[in-house]
Amino acid sequence: MSGRAPVIALCMVAILVGSSLYGTVSKVSPFSLPIGTVVLDAGHGGHDPGATASWQWDEPVYLQEKAITLDLVRRTSDILRTARADIDVVLTRDSDTYMALQDRADVAAKLNPGVGKSIVFVSVHANSSPSEEPSGFEVLVKQTDKRLRFLDAQVPDWAIARFANQTASELNRLLNRENLLFATAMREQMAKSFPQARDRGVKEQDVWVLNASKVPSVLVEVGFISNSDDAYLMTQQTWLDRMANTLAAGILAYINPY
């Protein structure tokens, strides 16, 4: 019994230090506040089909990336809305329509997250290669050395209040940190759900929507439409459900890491 008190005291110190650190971080970072909104972006749409491929399995199948991404985003939004009624789920598009990259990013960048809340952005795509060999999933984040501007003459008042307390360097550092935490959480869920798939990892890439959303953002390439095995899975309801559940799980794992 004599050893219990010091152990309990140490635990209390650890809890207090931990909570004060967490409190400090959430106070200074506009990107790590509780998530109020998830923006889901189905890649491509309308006259932009994204990657396409014709396959001959039991019958000829013509796959278009824009249809796969919309299907996945719709399923993912249903799962998230059921799991977390307290979170707003916003789709950049919910039909086969074309959207400019700026307009997609603006759905996240121009949305007032509300006081004490933050937003995350997830873009869903299917990969393609000139060779049929590459397969698997990957999670893209913006390049950490890509510096974003959070304040300019056009920003609304809520954004000034949100971003004016930090320097541009600090805001960029805080956003990069959240991006990497988010991407890692997503990759872990993908690897867990699809152990047979090739895990191509987390990659920094110069992607327009990831640079312009100005909130923690990942782009998930769910598989290669140009690879027969990956593409076949994209036609299967069980795979689509599992992928949607995984995307939702990755978002929730980032939102609730403990």
Which residues make up the interface to Zn ion (CB under 5 A)? 43, 50, 125
Residue whose CB is less far from Zn ion, 36 or 223: 223
Please, which residues have CB within 8 angstroms of residue 75's CB and are 6 or more apart in sequence?
240, 241, 243, 244
Helix, strand, or coil (residue 2): coil
Closest CA to 169 of 146, 203, 143, 136: 146
Residue whose CB is less far from Zn ion, 36 or 43: 43
Instruction: Judge contact between 89 and 38, C-beta under 8 A.
Output: yes
Residue least distant from Zn ion (Cβ): 125
Least gap, CB of 221 to Zn ion (angstroms): 8
Least gap, CB of 85 to Zn ion (angstroms): 30
Residue whose CB is less far from Zn ion, 30 or 43: 43
Least gap, CB of 45 to Zn ion (angstroms): 10
Residue with tokens 């278009």: 64
Residue whose CB is less far from Zn ion, 139 or 174: 139
Instruction: Judge contact between 34 and 22, C-beta under 8 A.
Output: no
Residue whose CB is less far from Zn ion, 37 or 127: 127
Least gap, CB of 125 to Zn ion (angstroms): 3
116 forms bridges with which residues in the sheet? none
What residue type is 28 in one-letter code?
V
Q: Give the ranges where the chain is alpha helix by DSSP (H).
A: 4-28, 65-83, 101-109, 157-163, 168-193, 208-212, 228-233, 237-255
Least gap, CB of 222 to Zn ion (angstroms): 10
Residue whose CB is less far from Zn ion, 41 or 88: 41
Least gap, CB of 59 to Zn ion (angstroms): 25
Closest CA to 219 of 103, 122, 143, 76: 122
